[in-house]
Amino acid sequence: MKKKVFSLLLASLVGVSALWSCASDTAEEDTEEESSAQTLTVSDPDYYTRFKGQNISINVYNWGEYISTGADEGTLDVNGEFEKLTGIKVNYTNYATNEELYAKLKGGAASYDVIIPSDYMISKMIKEGMVQKLDMDNIPNFSYIMDNFRNQAYDPTNEYSVPYTWGTVGIIYDTTMIDTPKEDIDWDLLWNEDYADQILMFDNPRDAFAIAEIMQGYSLNTEDPDELEDAANKLKKQKRIVQGYVMDEVFDKMEAGDALIAPYYAGDALTILEGNDSLDFVVPKSGTNLFVDAMCIPTAARQKEA
């Protein structure tokens, strides 16, 4: 029973994921058979309500600011609507970084049914036996995932994860205080001493190192010890002008004007820009990374309740 519940949540979320939305942009090219299958799934009440009244719950561990809570006007409480539709109680908690997720699961501090880590962390967890293979027969909406996001290096056989969303990293900046033309902005803005104590930086090694690696001309996936040390030294030189190392705190700080510059994820940047008309977002001219976050089931999930 529990495994079916896992798949129900995975299938429901994948059906409304950013990746599915990207695929729907080409809806005019879909066949009549594909359109009919989609409509059948959405309109079949038994598919969503079959677990009602069975006192079932599901533990979900996800990024902060990732699923709408309905707190903002005009937005939906996604978990609340899921509970009303399915009768399944969602115990929902957040983490700020992949490393926080990993440490909590590795230490056995908690048990979760669904987690949504990023690509590189999924690869690490697969190698360490921390996530289990999925029964794709129970996840029909996987068929809507774009080919671009299948068979990725972190899960080349698509056995352990279902892509949920993708994005890029860029720079959020205050246009009233930074007069560099948008097309000229590069990562070195985060090292500009003119803005000392007004710069925020990622509080996670993967994204921070990626920026330094781009600046030094290295691969984002380098494993060369000398290159990694050089990137680390680049980050050390930045430290004295950084106001703070943050993750979700970037929302409040940038919206309130407490900082002028911050690297962050493109999707979150759109939300932050809505809160302060002086802000803008740019992908630096020397390039950036593309990441994928995907849904997995930890091996420590509550299989005894299945």
Structural domains of the chain in order of their starting residue, each with its CATH number: 2-166+292-305 (3.40.190.10), 167-291 (3.40.190.10)
The residue-averaged pLDDT of 186-197 equals: 98
Per-residue confidence band for 302, with pLDDT thresholds at 50, 70 and 90: low
Residue 165 CB-density burial (10 A; 0-12 exposed, 13-18 middle, 19+ buried): buried
Count CB neighbours of 40 within 10 A: 10
Helix (H, G, I), strand (E, B) or coil at 168: strand
**Which pLDDT tens digit goes with each residue over 27-37?**
333 333 443 33
Rounded Cα–Cα distance for residues 298 and 306 (Å): 14
- Are 219 and 213 contacting, i.e. CB atoms less than 8 angstroms apart? yes
- Tokens 């994921």 correspond to 17
- Identify residue 225 by its one-letter amino acid code: P
Buried residues in 240-253 as b, exposed as e (16+ CB within 10 A): ebbbeebbbbbbeb
pTM: 0.76
Q: Which amino acid is at 27?
A: A
Percent of the chain with pLDDT over 70: 84
pLDDT at 180 over 80: yes
pLDDT on residue 70: 87
Indicate whether 8 pLDDT > 50. Answer: no
Interstrand relation of 162-174 and 242-246 (parallel, antiparallel or unpaired) = unpaired
Mean pLDDT, rounded, for 147-166: 94
Question: Tell me, what's the pLDDT at 71?
Answer: 83
| Cα–Cα separations (whole angstroms), residue 276 to 185, 205, 254 | 20, 28, 8
Q: At how many degrees (to 10) do helices 98-106 and 119-127 cross?
A: 20
By the 8 A CB rule, do 237 and 192 touch? no
Longest dimension (CA), the chain: 61
Cα dihedral sign, 147-152-157-163: negative
